[in-house]
Structure 1
Amino acid sequence: MPLLNQTDLTPASFILNGIPGLEDMHIWISFPFCSMYVVALVGNCGLLYLIRFEDSLHRSMYYFLAMLSLTDLVMCSSTIPKALCIFWFNLKEIGFDECLVQMFFIHTFTGMESGVLMLMALDRFVAICYPLRYSAILTNDVIGKAGLATFLRAVLLIIPLIFITKQLPYCRGNMIHHTYCDQLSVAKLSCGNIKANIIYGLMVAFLIGGFDILCITVSYTMILRAVVSLSSADARQKAFSTCTAHICAIVFSYSPAFFCFFFNCFGGHTIPPSCHIIVANIYLLLPPTMNPIVYGVKTKQIRDCVMKILSGSKEIKSQSV
């Protein structure tokens, strides 16, 4: 019997089946997906524009927000356009290498999202606990190095996972019951041993998510202690109000992530696959959609910049008339 080489066991392409069991509903499911994606694009691009051109927003807090917006744009853009192609045009095929590239971007930038939220928590800690040294501690150089380190951490941890997945022999068909190339969904098509994928995937989740959650928890514990020690109720409210938008961003990001984690680990056959896939898409789409809205509503400086631009455009329009 001739031996099969790696090429024989590597499919040319995969078929992304969308949301199994809800194929007849794809066109209806696409409308909220598309609407949220448009809001995410407009909102995050708007934030990036404001932070780039408004001098009043050239501070560390807004530089970290720019990192979050850029991360959100890449994270949702790596999945939603392909999902919409599946829903609208039944274009389900994706090349093997293209699938691995999508997988790399998804897992890298979800890790980046967690890291940026952790950096923003540290930023709030320094701003509230060391306000007089805030500018001296969080210089542009420090912010740039922290952002680069967070990105490299995600890249260096995800590359081995992609390499392990690429080397697997695939002989269980090429149908992926998902809207995008999730690492575990792809690995399940292999007839080889996928224990390395499972163990390494969990290790990456704990190294990134566990470390970041620990840092966020410690930061907010110190912030709470500092806020409680303030003598004035107004000062306490003002200090903690600067954290409101960030706390909302944490909730929007980590809540779907925890649901996905528990579905994978404990859901088994008790939870319908369609429910898991919808939550997995919300995990990648909800933070990019909600973060610009929350920061726009909760951050006075951003609201002021928006009003300034709107009032300027009205003046130009009235002058032209």
Structure 2
Amino acid sequence: MSDDGRFERATSRFTDRITEDGRDGWPVEAGRYRLVVSRACPWASRSLVVRRLLGLEDALSLAVADPVQDERSWRFTLDPDGRDPVLGIRFLSEAYEAREPGHPGGVSVPAVVDVPTGGLVTNDYQRITLDLETEWTRLHRPGAPDLYPERLRDEIDERMDGVYRDVNNGVYEAGFATSQEAYEEAYGRLFARLDQVSEHLAARRYLVGDTITEADVRLFTTLVRFDAVYHGHFKCNRNKLTEDRVLWAYARDLFQTPGFGDTVDFDHIKRHYYVVHRHINPTRIVPRGPDLRGWRTPHHREELGGRPFGDGTPPSPPRQDEVVVPL
């Protein structure tokens, strides 16, 4: 936090990249790495969606942490004996320690861990999905969509920058603010950007071009949490997502697209935010609402045209061991 009550997000400490040529010492290799996520975390959820869309499940294994972490970091209490069955560790902090003994910083997800050494490779949430899209192409499934097409990258980057600053991170700046001024500034930027995005999407199905891109993935992971968490818990309460006709239809369109909604676990989302953030919710009571059935209602966004996967195809259904309890 800054002296004037503004939330300041820490930068990723470990920014090595896994690339086709292995220039950082980490070559793309099927089965070598393990992606550690929490289904509660919007930054980690980006990697879940991209991994599904690209069909990387067999190449990049998945570890899902308990949504409620403790002072020792994200924990693997969802697994038998409380240990990740591949890495053999109880806490993600052990992978950070293996990478940097005495690591002084925070422990965040998503994280990619080198299975042979048990050490962290990267926790660079801004870069992980881009590299999955551009460096892991040899391992993509047949029919995988191009989520970061080269001809549109400047526009995608511009869209993502604004959405990150004012929406993805903006909800946290509002929710974690410790001064009225800081809260109101973040609140204002958040809804100004959402209004802009809503106007942009009123006549087009996706943020950039006529197919799903990385920009849509990044916006979706905040929108899907908006009414369940950010509206009340983070005081982002000018209006609910369901009260914005365009954004609500856009979010439902993506949710109902294979690879998006089938990665979302609202139970994990709600338990994490309402239980872990004791300074905001000291009673740790998890609300029963909102009613989630609306996520499956018709959205009619297909009337705007567009091709969700471009020249590609939808991903196969989730692996049996990765199925989320449906709404």
Greater helix content: 1
TM class by shorter chain equals under 0.3
Higher relative contact order (CA 8 A, sep 6+): 1
| TM-score, reference length from structure 1 | 0.28
Question: Looking at CA atoms only, which structure, 1 or 2, has the larger radius of gyration?
Answer: 1
| TM-score, reference length from structure 2 | 0.27
